[in-house]
Amino acid sequence: TWVLGVELKWRDDGLGGLDNVGVIHGVRRNSTADKAGLLPGDELISWNGVPVTGRPTWEVIVQSCRVDDVVMLRVQRHVEELALELVVEGTTDARRPRRAPRT
């Protein structure tokens, strides 16, 4: 499912946690996520300081979002941790998303 312009896939952390790492699989062009600079392959770390520890946490975070909220999103991109500012927008952008390359 697409939320805030991203499609997430969940994977295990390799340390015993199941489906607790959110990996961005696709980003819709001109979406909230695209404007914030999110890219396929980015791993979610936190949302306004709240750790994203799995799908249930993510769903609670997303449900609490309001249009025009300004959010600090921390992601892991390769070996670097980034802080990105995201402004929540109301959008129904249906353009073709950028997807992560198949491996």
**Amino acid 94: pLDDT:** 39
Distant-in-sequence, close-in-space partners of 76: CB < 8 Å, separation ≥ 6: 42, 43, 45, 82
Which pairing describes strands 43-47 and 70-77: parallel, antiparallel, or unpaired?
antiparallel
* Block residue for tokens 């699989």: 25
Which of 47, 30, 43 lies closest to 97 in space, CA to CA?
30
Q: How many CB atoms lie within 10 A of CB 58?
A: 17
94: left (phi over 0), alpha (psi -120 to 50) or beta: alpha
**Amino acid 15: pLDDT:** 82
Q: What is the pLDDT of residues 8-38, one digit of tens each?
A: 999 888 888 777 889 999 999 999 899 999 9
